[in-house]
Amino acid sequence: MAELLPVEPFDMVIFGATGDLARRKLIPALFHRWCDGQIPEPSRIITTAREEMSTEDFLARAAETVNGNGANSERQARWAEFSRLVTYVRADADGEGEGWTALKEALNGDPTKIRVFYLALPPSVYGPVCAAIDRHGLVTPRARIVLEKPIGHNFHSARAINEAVGAVFDESAIFRIDHYLGKETVQNLLVLRFANMLLEPVWNANGIDHVQITVAESLGAGERAGYYDRAGALRDMVQNHLLQLMCLVAMEPPHSLDGDAVRAEKLKVLRALRLVRAEGAKKDVVRGQYTAGVIGGSPVPGYAEEVGGTTKTETFVAIRAHIDNWRWAGVPFYMRTGKRMSARRSEIIITFKPVPHDIIQADAGVLQPNRLVIRLQPDEGVKLMMMTKDPGPGGMRLRYVPLNLSYAEAFEEDYPDAYERLLMAVVRGNLALFMRRDEVEAAWRWTDGVIQAWQDGANTLHAYAAGTDGPQQSALMLGRDDREWFDGHD
C-alpha cells in the first residue's frame, strides 16, 4: 500500500461552510484525511457562513452527513477527535460586521503557518471576499486561496474575477479547482502516456483515428436548476471538465510534472483548438434538452417541468473539435455531456487506426480497431481492447476482448477521492492539479466562440427522452464520419 504522508500543520478557512459543497464534499474529505493520519493535530479548520449557529450546532449537522445513522463507536470516536480542530464563525462574505473580527481572532497564531482560504461560494463574490480578506489583514506569506469552478460565465467575467483575486493573491497562491483533475484515473493518464514506451510512439495522428470523451449523468438539474438554467451544459461541463480531459490526452510531454510545466503544455492545446463558427457549428455541434422519460425503471419529468417553464437552455451538448497542430492534424475529438442520460459514466476512449492489411478470412469475424478505454466513473479503470483468437477447434474465429485494469480489483486499499487528494495538494502547494489563469481564459475564449456561433444562427435545440444517450443528431454527427459512439462499459 502506498504510504500516506502527513502534510504540514495548516489553518483552513471554509467560506460558505453551510452550503452543499462543504457539507457533502469538503468536511467529509478533511475528516477522512484526518482518519488516515495526513492532517496533524496543530491544524485548524475554521468554517464560516452567514447563518447564526454555534460550533456545536455546525458539527452536529456535519456529523449527519459524515457519519449518517450507522456510525460505529470507533468512527464516532475519531469524529470527536476531528471535531476539536473545527470552529464555526458567523461572518458575511462582504467583509463587513463583527464576524470578521471574530474570524481574525480565530486565526491568531503563528504567521508562518500555511493558511488556506476555500471559497465554496458563487464566483460573483470571489473578488469582494478576496478584498475583504486583504482589508482585514488575513493574508500571510504562506496564504493561498482555492476557487471553485466556474470562474465566470464568459471570457470577460473570468478575466475580471482573475484580476480581482490576483490583486490580493499571487498566481502561485491561487488554486482553481476542477475535481476531475483529482481523480486517480485522470492522473494515471499522464503515467500511461509518458512512462510507457508502448503508447507514446503511436499517440498521434499516425496511430490514432479519433478520440471520444463522454461525461454523462443520469440525474436531472435538481437543486442546481437555478444556476444550471443560466449556465447550460456547455458552460457547466465542457468549458472546464471536458476541455481539461482533452488537454491531458492531447498535450505534449512536459519537461517535468512541475505545476507550470504541465499547465504550459495544456495551454498550448487550448490555443490550438480550432474556433467554432456558425456554419461549422451546424455540423460540428449538437444541442439537446431532455424531455420526460424513464430512469432506472421510474418515470422522471422533463427539464422544462423541473425549472418551471419553457427554456432554451441545453442539457446536452456534443461537439466535434479539432486541434490544429502537428500531432493531431486530422484527428477529431468528439466530446459529449448531458443530464438524464441512460447511465452515469465518464470515460475517455482512444480509438486507434485499423491494421493496414487484413489477413484474416472474412468468416472469422469482424476486425475491430484497438481501443484504450479510460474509465473515470463510476468504476475507475483502464481497458485495452484487442482482437484475439477465440480458443478451441473449428478454425479461426475472432473475439474482441479487453486487457483490463480495474482499480477496485487490482488495489484492495481505499485511496483518497478527488477532493481529498486536491485538498492535500493545496496544502502542499502542488499546482499541477489546478488550472492556471491563462488556461481558464483560453478555455473561455473557445467556449465563447461556440456560444457566439449559436447566437449567429446555429441554435437548434433537439429533444431527447430522459434515460437515453442524447438526441439522435449526436449519433448522426459521428455517422457522417463513418464512426459511432463507443460504450466502454460494454
Q: How many CB atoms within 10 Å of residue 126?
A: 23
Query: Which sign, positive or negative, has the C-alpha torsion 115, 120, 124, 125?
Result: negative
Rg (the chain; Cα; Å): 24
Quote the cell numbers at residue 282. Answer: 451546424
Cβ contact 22:14 at 8 Å: yes
The CA-based dihedral angle spanning residues 142, 58, 119, 140, taken in that order and rounded to the nearest 10 degrees: -20
DSSP 8-state assignment for residue 385? E
241, 357, 462, 489: the catalytic one is 241
Q: How far apart are CA 152 and CA 165, in angstroms?
A: 12
Quote the cell numbers at residue 195. Answer: 512512462
Strand 208-216 to 332-338 pairing: parallel
Q: How far apart are CA 83 and CA 425, in angstroms?
A: 22
The CA-based dihedral angle spanning residues 190, 192, 198, 204, taken in that order and rounded to the nearest 10 degrees: -50
Q: Which residues contact 383 (CB under 8 A, 6 or more apart)?
A: 371, 372, 373, 375, 402, 403, 404, 405, 488
Distances (CA, A) of 121 to 19, 35, 441: 8, 27, 20
Helix (DSSP H) and strand (DSSP E) numbers for the chain: 17, 17
* Residue in 213, 487, 449, 217 with CA at minimum distance from that of residue 331: 213
Question: Is residue 489 annotated as part of the catalytic site, yes or no?
Answer: no
Query: What's 171-200 look like in SS3?
Result: HHHEEEECHHHHCHHHHHHHHHHHCCCCCH
Cβ contact 460:477 at 8 Å: no
Amino acid identity, position 392 = G
Cα 194 from chain centre:
22
Helix (H, G, I), strand (E, B) or coil at 255: coil
Strand partners, 401: 386
Cα 377 from chain centre:
11
First to last CA, the chain: 30
Cα angle: 399, vertex 403, 405; to 5 degrees: 150
* Helix, strand, coil tally for the chain in percent (to 5): 40, 25, 35
Backbone angles phi, psi at 332, to 5 degrees: -75, 140
Which positions are catalytic? 241
